[in-house]
Amino acid sequence: MTVPLSRPLVLEPNSAADPCAHCDARHASVCNAIPDGDMARLAAAAVVMEAAPGTSFINEGDPANYFFNVTRGTAKLFKLLPDGRRQITGFVGVGHFLGLAVSETYAFSAEAIDHVRYCRFSRTRLRALLDDYPLMEKRLLEVASNELVAAQEQMLLLGRKTARERLASFLASQSRLGVSCRHPRTRFSLPMTRGDIADYLGLTIETVSRTLTKLRSEGLIEIPSATEVVIRAPGALERLAGGAA
């Protein structure tokens, strides 16, 4: 099966000279380690691209020649099993930096859920930036550390937590995407399908739907639409996610 590829984005004239200066995602990404006065150099190292829903922009097994910084939209990360099935390993949004591979090939694939815009950096150009801006390298090390913590959390989630605890953990994590963990959102978009959520959490679609309905009936969340959630009791939801309720 041929997988559609992402394509370069044609920028508007007023942003073509320095797209980084107009990027809404800068505050949430590693790029905020670059001083405002040096934004032009960062822009020169980046290729701004976009991926339509259902389009892959990282393919497992391809040479890991690039890094990717998501500046708009949501994508799912997955691995292919030998029989062709896909296991979703995570969801990423604005500010996420992808491609920190320790091998010569990518260990996962990334597919746009909704319209995704991202900056692509070649390894050579990014290495030059890191040499001149050690704070950016420090931020990337923090990203790698956070990915390790996330992997450990995912093992706990799949191995020990109940369906209610898994859903609560997932909703709590989604409320923190792209924002400060100190100030999670109480209203946010869930652009992924119930099937994607079920795959990620190791549950069936029926269990995901039933558990969401239960959380709503308990007053923990509200579901205004199929792609939006409102957390009505953040403290209670966090306690449930931690296994304390």
pLDDT tens digits along 64-110: 999 999 999 999 999 988 888 888 999 998 888 898 766 789 999 99
Residue 107 lies in a domain: yes
Instruction: Count the Cβ atoms, other than its own, within 10 Å of residue 104.
Output: 9
Q: Could you tell me if 170 and 55 lie in one domain?
A: no
Instruction: Answer whether 0.85 is exceeded by the pTM.
Output: no
Confidence check: pLDDT of 47 > 70: yes
Does residue 155 fall inside a structural domain?
A: no
CATH of the domain at 118: 2.60.120.10
Q: Helix 134-160 crosses helix 123-132 at what angle (to 10 degrees)? A: 120
Share of the chain above pLDDT 70, in %: 86
Domain that holds residue 20: 7-150
CATH number at residue 208: 1.10.10.10
In this structure, is residue 2 part of a structural domain?
A: no
Q: What is the pLDDT of residue 10?
A: 43
Which segment of 43-52, 97-106, 147-156, 217-226 scores lowest on mean pLDDT?
147-156
Q: Across residues 41-56, what is the average pLDDT? A: 91
* Same domain flag for 79 and 142: yes
Continuous segment of H or E residues that includes residue 125:
helix 123-132
Would you say residue 103 lies in a domain?
yes
Per-residue model confidence (pLDDT) at position 184: 67
Question: Do residues 56 and 169 share a domain?
Answer: no
Side chain identity at residue 7, one-letter code: R
Q: What is the mean pLDDT of the segment spanning 153-173?
A: 85
